[in-house]
Amino acid sequence: MVPVVEVAQRLSLGAGRSSRSRSGDVRQILFEWRGVKIHSYPVMLYLGLTFGMVAGDFMANRAGLPAARVLVAVILLAMFGLLGARLLFVAMHWSVYRREPWRIWRRSEGGAAMQGGLVLAMMVSWPLLAALQLPLGAFWDVATFVMLIWLIFGRVGCLLHGCCGGRPSSGPFTLQLPNQTGVRQRRYPTQLLESAWALLLLLGVIGLSRHAPFPGAVFLAVIAAYSTARIALESLREQQDRYRGLNIQQSIAAGLATMALIGFVVLWLRQLSAA
């Protein structure tokens, strides 16, 4: 069984424990103003979503989509994304939460698995986009920019909070970094690597978005590329969630990458046959 305290420390959507850890290196609280503690992770999520929506508005106008309806869809799907991320985390640690289910929605404990958010948001998008009269593929191409910017900032928030950290290593490509309990060691900078990969993907789709072969191609290509990298990055993490020997996050990433690649090939072939 995973202790609740350990579960609470792994990832955080809300308040962290303290701005000072045992070694004083984890920056969970950016600053305190009039007794109100401003936590690094939600601040980074807010900045990522804000800048992401600005980019999404620009891309929606460039794609000829109604920007107001796109904004509504992005906000609603972001809410479902946060819900899905929380639910997947709870499911992965159900042995803890089934004994004390009131902890599921306790923000002070935090905990999220972002791939669960992506899956739920994709499922909800079908009826939601139909109701808003937005084309599925074109919308997700625009939303890809929002997601990547959100991810870039979010992983910086993880670095400040100490969650999602890499495992200790004396090998190359490591940095002196703390984990969520403030233990500072040379470890793989998984948060920075994931943020950097998202930035590279963002730069790539900025240049290629005008040349996409079909609506939805940008989204499917990014999901395939990101999920493939996530498989490798998961093996470098200090905390790995497993079920019967399988790494849960790697398995989900492999499934997403496979489905995205199949979808890309099928839709591209359909586009070519129609032409």
Centre a 10 Å sphere on the Cβ of residue 244 and count the other Cβ atoms it contains. 5
Q: Please tell me whether residue 184 adopts helix, strand or coil conformation.
A: strand
Structure tokens at 46: 């807010």
Span 105-124, pLDDT tens digits: 766 566 777 888 899 999 99
d(CA 67, CA 64): 8
Q: Does 4 have pLDDT greater than 60?
A: no
pLDDT band at 274 (very low <50, low <70, confident <90, very high): confident
d(CA 235, CA 241): 11
Over range 60-73, report the average pLDDT: 94
Span 257-267, pLDDT tens digits: 999 999 999 99
20 contact partners, CB below 8 Å, separation of at least 6 = 26, 182
Tell me which DSSP letter residue 167 carries. Answer: P
What is the phi/psi pair of residue 8, to 5°?
-65, -25
Q: Which domain holds residue 205?
A: 4-274
Q: How do beta strands 184-187 and 246-247 pair?
A: unpaired
What is the count of structural domains for the chain? 1
